[in-house]
Structure 1
Amino acid sequence: MINQNSENILNTQVEQASGEGYKFSWFDWFCLWYPPGWLILFNRHWQYYHSDPDGWNWLEYGLFLIPGGFYLALLSRWLRLGCRLPRIEVDEFNPKYQQAFRTEVLAFIVKYYFQGELQAIDNLPQTGPMIVAMNHAGMCFPWDFISLSYLLGETQGWVVQPLANPALFEHPWIVWWLPPKWSQVLGGVPAKLADFEAALAQGKILLYAPEGVRGPAKGWSQRYQLQKFDISFIQLSDRYQIPILPVLCIGSESLHPWTVNFKKLQRLFKLPFLPLSPLMIALIVFPSMGVWAMKTRLRYFIQPLEKDIYSTKNRTAAYQQAQKFRDKLQTQINQLLNK
């Protein structure tokens, strides 16, 4: 964890830069249009607000854009750093940077690329804390989560922190793709019971996938079929008397269509899932497309706040309660798909 002095330096850097804000150049607009460039845009925005001598440079950005060039860029950066991993120096959530990234980068992607929209917003409460529980899918970068977080922030002014798979924080590949502790600074909370409970105890608004990694790992053949729910959110909701706001996402299954999850390869590479599809040919040629997804329309249907979910210390009762909740949401998803 960084110390208080480091946190103050980070806040000062964001405040100084945010006086002008990040201005898109022609190159940034090109990166938005060209799928391998999304990763460049994320890193360039970070470098505008943070000092990151270990980050990618212009030569390496240029290599991202040509077939197979990412591998040369990776080699170049590794040699430039003295054959070591990038330094990890920042790991605290910074709502000021979250807001800057949301308004200066995410706004265009969510509104115009994914056409994200909230439905039934009358069901949104005025404030938190709460657990926002959503069906999570797509077998790709978690754009369904990120888009919902953006829309809730714009509509309600909420500071939303998603629970994210630990691989987004710790996996060696992520260290090379994205800036150091990028997920934490943007508000991600590791999907571990201790971190989940600590965040709820602090009264935060958490975006949570009750299916866990089973949701995106189920593959294209089981799209919109909710998998078994974990019970931790039921137990913690009861323990801290925090309500659950169910949200149903339609469109997320098309973020990476026609996928199959190869579990043996997934375990070999220590990934939460390994989606294989015709699109993987493009991803092998352009690995920087790992943060990109297919153009789709993400619609979020806000359900009434769940205030009457109670669990007991009996795990069996909590499990039954979670699956009853799952069945209820599955029925609602089926109704939305049939309209």
Structure 2
Amino acid sequence: MRGEGFTFGWFDWFCLWYPPGWLILFNRHWQHYHADPDGWNWLEYILFLIPGGFYLALLIRWLRLGCRLPRRETPTFDPNYQKAFRDEILAPIVKYYFRGELQQIENLPENGPAIVAMNHAGMCFPWDFLVLAYLLGDTRDWIVQPLAGVSLFEHLWMIWWLPSGWSEVLGGVRAEYDEFEAAVASKTILLYAPEGLRGPCKGWPLRFQIQTFHPSFISLSDRYQIPILPVVCLGNEYLHPFAFNLKNIGKIFGLPFLPISFLIIVFILFPSMGVWAMRSRLQYYIQPLYRNSDSQNTIEPQTASSKIRLNTYQQAQALREKLQSKLNCLLNINES
């Protein structure tokens, strides 16, 4: 990583408060620290800011690169760049826009490792994850690695939107079992959504309904003796309000979900807003550490496999019910 710290100028503050400019901030910050000859340039940035201009910028960049995709790098996680991005870009967004807050901080351990399991919603760029990663890093100076859907790394839109390897360099872990296990085995602070894509895909009508948990995090927690830190997020439901998921159309474009809402016209005019979300107040309620109290080693070998799977699944759903109960309680308090 090269260069001195990134400092907001007037153009950067303008981009922060003008939604199509968020993508500019991400790319400008990357270019400040990394040589990126295939990246966006100033003419293209200006086009981002006018209706329909992104399409012209995309064409200009494609022609500039010789009618090819941006070069794919072989990225590795860089904790120093994660810290720079957290302190220089995420900090003002979290403070002034999403107004992120950690609640019940007495339940937050001093040290890791841990699997931070959070309810996921919003049907948008994973801002509930990024804000929590920022808050945990800012509060405990932790290096946090979020587990992210494969599309965030390699979908064609992401290849053009964001720099090559951006997600990996920031610490993103692909949502594939082998990479998930490797991250847990390395004793990191891993940010995980047990609902998987069912969380952001559930849409507005089910926004407060935590979906079925995948049990993999329970089994890995038990195998590597790493505690689970449950977190309930309140406010992520409003990141893309009144959105419905067009699953079948989304599959045509290779997207994990395709939201349709009153914002769709704006997104069509400004595709760079794909990394933006509505202003919300994201509050994170830290729950007591969860440790598996049932020893799977006591199960008879001949029936171990099926019983362990059933036991793990039941534990995952029991934890989901606890978080759902806490979320319901918080909603009732806010309504009263």
TM tier, shorter chain? over 0.9
Cα shift readout 1:195-217 (whole Å, capped 9, x = no counterpart): 00001111111000000000000
Secondary structure, aligned partner of 2:220: helix
**Equivalent residue, structure 2, for 1:89:** 73
Of residues 138, 147, 154 in structure 1, which corresponds to 2:138?
154
Partner of 2:233: 249
Q: Which residue of 1 aligns with 2:189?
A: 205
1:212-244 deviation line (CA, Å, top 9, x unaligned): 000000000001101010010011001101100
2:315 equivalent among 304, 311, 321: 321
The structural deviation recorded for 1:89 is 1.6
In structure 1, the partner of 2:86 is 102
TM-score norm. by structure 2 comes to 0.95
- Give 1:113-262 correspondences, 5 Å limit: 113-262=97-246
Mapped to 1, the partners of 2:47 and 2:252 lie a distance apart of: 28
CA positional deviation for 1:90: 4.2
> Which consecutive residues of structure 2, in runs of 5 or more, have no partner in the other structure?
297-304
Q: Please identify, of 214-223 and 305-314, the stretch whose mean Cα deviation from structure 2 is larger.
A: 305-314
Matches of 1:97 and 1:106, distance apart in 2: 12
The letter for the 2-side match of 1:142 is: P
Pairing 1:47–2:31 present: yes
Q: Which letter maps to 2:254?
A: K
Q: Distance in 1 between matches of 2:205 and 2:294?
A: 33
Partner of 1:7: none
Change (3 A) 1:287 1:122: same
Query: 1:261-276 alignment to 2 at 5 Å?
Result: 261-276=245-260
1:83, 1:129 → 2: CA distance? 45
Amino acid at match of 1:318: T
Aligned length: 323
Aligned amino acid, residue 122 of structure 1: E
**What is the alpha-carbon distance in structure 1 between the residues aligned to residue 163 and residue 292 of structure 2?**
41
Superposed CA offset, 1:233-274 (max 9, x none): 011001101100000000000000001001101111111111
Counterpart residue type for residue 313 of structure 2: Y
**Residue in 1 that maps onto 2:330:** 336
Aligned to 1:285: 269
Supply the distance in 1 between the matched residues of 2:295 and 2:279 (Cα, whole angstroms). Answer: 40
**Residues 309 and 266 (structure 1 numbering): CA distance in 2 closer, same or farther, change over 3 Å?**
farther
Work out the percentage of aligned pairs sharing the same amino acid. 67
Q: Offset of 1:308 from its aligned partner?
A: 2.9
Question: Matched residues in 2 for 1:249 and 1:279: separation?
Answer: 23
- After superposition, give the CA deviation of every residue in 1:88-108 in whole Å (9 maximum; x if it has no partner): 124111010111111111100
Please state whether the residue corresponding to 2:94 is helix, strand or coil: helix
TM-score, with structure 1 as normaliser: 0.94
Describe the superposition over 1:298-333 as per-residue Cα deviations: whole angstroms up to 9, x where unpaired: 000000001235474421221111111111111111
Whole-Å separation in 2 of the counterparts to 1:338 and 1:183: 37
Q: Which amino acid aligns with 1:59?
A: L
Please show how residues 288-303 of structure 1 align to structure 2 within 5 Å. 288-303=272-287
User: Displacement, 1:35?
Assistant: 0.4
**Partner residue, 2:299:** none
Q: Aligned in 2, Cα 1:156/1:272: closer, same or farther, shift over 3 Å?
A: same
In the alignment, the residues of structure 1 paired with residue 276 and residue 14 of structure 2 have an alpha-carbon distance, to the nearest angstrom, of 14
Residue identity in the other structure for 2:322: K
Matched AA of 1:78: W
In structure 2, C-alpha distance between the alignment counterparts of 1:137 and 1:181, rounded to whole Å: 25
Contact 2:235 2:282 in 1 (8 A): yes
